[in-house]
Amino acid sequence: MSSAAKPAAACPVCGKPGEAAYAPFCSRRCADIDLGRWLKGGYVIPGRPEDDTDKGPATPSGKDEPPES
C-alpha cells in the first residue's frame, strides 16, 4: 500500500487545488460563494412547463367570493 497522497481536485469555483479542510473547495471563501449560488437559485434543474392541469382541482365558482349584503 502506498502512502502517497492523492492529488487534490480543482476547486469548482476558482480552479485552484482543493484543500482537505474545505473539500472540494480551496477555501472558505469559495465554499461560501457556492452556498450563495445555491441559496439564490443559481443551480436549477429545468423541468417541464407547468400548466393548469398540474395545479390540482379548481375551486367551484362563488366559493371564494364574500357574501352579498
Instruction: Tell me the mean pLDDT in the region 17-43.
Output: 95
Whether residue 36 contacts residue 28, with contact meaning beta carbons closer than 8 Å, is answered with: no
* Confidence category of residue 57, pLDDT binned at 50, 70, 90: low
Instruction: Indicate yes or no: pTM above 0.75.
Output: no
Q: What is the pLDDT of residue 1?
A: 45
More confident residue, 15 or 54: 15
Q: What is the pLDDT of residue 38?
A: 93
**Helices within the chain (DSSP H only):** 28-39
- Farthest-apart Cα atoms in the chain, separation: 86
* Domains by residue range for the chain, with CATH: 9-44 (3.30.50.10)
- Residue 5 scores a pLDDT above 80: no
CA dist., res. 62 & res. 67, Å (int): 9
CA dist., res. 69 & res. 67, Å (int): 6
Q: In sequence order, which residues have a C-beta less than 8 Å from that of residue 8 and are 6 or more positions away?
A: 17, 18, 19, 20
